Each structure stands twice: as structure tokens, then as C-alpha cells.
Amino acid sequence: MNPAPNSWRTPTAILIAGCVILTLSMGVRHTAGLFLQPMTVDHGWSRETFSFAIALQNLVWGLASPFAGALADRYGAGRTVAAAAVLYAIGLGLMAYADAPLAFDLSAGVLIGLGLSGTTFAVIMGVIGRHTTPEKRSLALGIASAGGSFGQFAVLPVGQMMITAYGWQSALLLLACGVGLIAPLANALADGHRPSAGAGQSVGQALREAGGQRSFHYLFWGYFVCGFQTAFIMLHLPAFLVDAGLSANVGMTAVALIGLFNILGSFLFGWGGGCYSKKNLLVLIYAARAVAILVFMLIPLSTASAWLFAAAMGILWLGTVPLTNGLVAQIFGLRYMSMLTGVVFLGHQLGSFLGAWLGGRIFDETGSYSLAWGIAIGLSVLAALCSAPIDERPLARAGGAA
């Protein structure tokens, strides 16, 4: 668990490197939407062409996460993160010069999706989890989640400033340089972890074992709901507010409040997971989301209610990340943590895809978001009910494989 004596890769150094990597990776990814208007106008593409590539990116990110996790578990997190950072930077660079939809799908969709799978939660949380004691693990995962949350909050206005100052093509190349910084940072994560080289579980056995546990399925579907709600709210809340007669400024401030309070919430729930039952905190998050959405729907809509709702959702936004990843480590051990958290994250991305798409579809069909909000409340209740029976005890294994 701990680095070799005299190694500079102390748990603190690994945590700081992990936070910076998540800040860059999650932050740059969050700017994608800013390029829609300038790129579609310059290339004469439809908005569907652009949004299909970003939807593809989200799916590739989710589908590749278990494989990226398995690679990190097999060959080490340092190499996996460095390789993924190179793919991510190449994807951004090619995105700047893609002048046909297929080239755009391959760069913005496939390459960046693959890059994200190796530079975000599944791989980073695995290596941080291995280098912290069980008592401090949840807090460390919470700090890392807060790093990713800070990236989402901070890089969006920076990306917009770059586009305004230098144009979208140069902005993409600058962001590629920023993502390129992840590759040398990955050196800090090269901890020499080689679980497959020793005796014990194989990858297949670990997957079969996890698939046979109800708790793993509960975590997967809970994360699915988390992805559904966050994607739906982030995409459709501003439009919902503007449709209701509030100004675009109110919607933008709501988004900023979600980002700001998300940093606090990620840290708080990570810290809480070290002191209290993680599954009970997950129940609390999902139940509180249901209550927050219900109250938001029932009270008269105003600027104050929109901002209060955004702050409440921000607190509850990515608090699920340290708790869900912490539970995977707690129940299944650290040996294949990256791969198993990658599988659970696939559920999150499937939920994100559905939340983003279904919100728009429901609005187009019914002319209102009411049904989508109702589904978000119902799913939240189901996620709370799913989280309650999670068995937090570590799995008992013959031979005591960790």
C-alpha cells in the first residue's frame, strides 16, 4: 500500500498529482459545448453533427473505462494515464483540424473518449485508493473528486476566454497543450502496482465475483441514476429557467452555483465516508435529491428558488463519486479497484446519455420538462432504495485475497 522507502511518490504526492490530472482532464472535457457554435458555423455542420460526436465521446468514455481500469491494474496507472493523455491531446489537436464529420467523430468522439477513460475517476481513484489507509481513503477520494469538480468549474470560463482571445482553433490547441501536461504528471502515479503478476484472482474471476454480488449491481444502478440526473439537470436546467421567464443570467449563475457547491460537496461526502456508513450517505444523497427536486417543482419558481436549488444540487452533485468508489474498494478490495470502478462508471455514463437525450425528447414530445423532472424524482427514490441494502462488509475469500 505504501511506497518503497525513500520514494518521492508519497501518498500526498500521488494525491496532489491525481487532483491536478482530474482538474485538467474533467475541466477540458467540460468546455466541449463552447465549441459548438463556432465550429458548426465555420464548417457549415448541423448541430446534430457536433452533438453526435460528443454523445459518442460520452459512450466511448463509459465503455472504455473498465478496460482502462484493467490496463491500469495490469500494467500500472502511470503508463495507462500517460498513454491516455497522449490520445486525449492528439484528439484535441485533430479536432482543431477536422473538416469532415467522420474525422470529427474519430477525434472528438473516439480519441477524446478513450483519453478520458484513462485520465479520470476509474484509474485515478484506484491508485489513490491503494496509497491511503482505510481510515483516510474516503477523505482522499473526496479530495480527488473535489479536484475534478474544481476543474469543471474553473476551466469553462478559461476556455471561453481562450476562444474569445485566440479563436476556437487555437483554443483547442492550447487545451491540447494543457492536457499534455498530464503525461509527465502520470509519472507520480507509477507505483509499480502489479497485481496480476502474483498469485490470486484473475481479471475474469474478479469480474465474475463482482457480477455475482447484489451490492455491485446496486452500486451500478445507483450510479446510473446519478448520471441521469446530473446530465439532465446540467443540460436542461438553464433552458427550463429561460422557458419559465427567467433571464439567461439566472441560468448561468445556477450553473456556476452547482459547480461551486459541487467542490464543497465532493469534499464533505468524501470526509463523511470516512466517519459514517458510506451506503447510508448514498441513501441520504439520493433521497435528498428527490426532496430537492420535488420542492423545486412545488414552490413558485423565482430567481431565489432557482439559485437555492442549484446550490442544494451542487452539494449533492459528485458526492456519490468518493462514496461509490470507496465502497468498491471496501467490499472488493484494492487489487482490481480501477477495473471494477470502471464497470460501475459505465452505468453512470449510460445514465448520462439517457438523461441528456430523454430530457430533450420529452420536451419535444410534450412541450414541457414536467415528466422528465418526475422521472428524475422517481429514479432518485429507487436509487435510495437500491443503496440501502448494500452490504458494506469486505468479501470473505478463500486465501484472503485483498
Partner 1 sequence: MKPHWRWFLGGLAAALAIVVLALLFAAYQMPELLIDWANLNYCS
Q: Which residues here bind partner 1, judged by CB under 8 A? A: 30, 32-37, 47, 50-51, 54-55, 153-154, 156-158, 160-161, 163-164, 231, 234-236, 238-239, 248-249, 251-253, 255-256, 260, 263, 356
Least separation, in Å, of the C-beta of 175 and partner 1? 15
Least separation, in Å, of the C-beta of 182 and partner 1? 21
- Measured between alpha carbons, how far is 355 from 347 in angstroms, rounded to an integer? 12
- The phi-psi region of residue 259 (left if phi > 0; otherwise alpha if psi is between -120 and 50; otherwise beta) is alpha
Which residues, 6+ apart, have CB-to-CB distance to 260 below 8 Å? Answer: 153, 314
- The phi-psi region of residue 217 (left if phi > 0; otherwise alpha if psi is between -120 and 50; otherwise beta) is alpha
Q: Of 276, 362, 361, 289, give the one whose Cα is nearest residue 326.
A: 276
| Residues in the chain, overall count | 402
Least separation, in Å, of the C-beta of 176 and partner 1? 19
Nearer residue to partner 1 within complex by CB, 104 or 332: 104
Least separation, in Å, of the C-beta of 161 and partner 1? 8
What does the CA dihedral 318, 253, 16, 184 come to, rounded to 10 degrees? Answer: 110
Least separation, in Å, of the C-beta of 132 and partner 1? 21
Nearer residue to partner 1 within complex by CB, 23 or 80: 23
Nearer residue to partner 1 within complex by CB, 78 or 259: 259
Nearer residue to partner 1 within complex by CB, 39 or 206: 39
Least separation, in Å, of the C-beta of 257 and partner 1? 8
Query: For residues 25 and 116, is the Cβ–Cβ distance under 8 A?
Result: yes
Nearer residue to partner 1 within complex by CB, 51 or 277: 51
Least separation, in Å, of the C-beta of 366 and partner 1? 17
Nearer residue to partner 1 within complex by CB, 58 or 132: 58
Which residues, 6+ apart, have CB-to-CB distance to 240 below 8 Å? Answer: 369
* Residue 123 grid cell: 484509474
* Residue 281 grid cell: 450517505
Least separation, in Å, of the C-beta of 253 and partner 1? 7
Which residues, 6+ apart, have CB-to-CB distance to 207 below 8 Å? Answer: 339, 340, 343
Least separation, in Å, of the C-beta of 180 and partner 1? 23
Least separation, in Å, of the C-beta of 23 and partner 1? 12
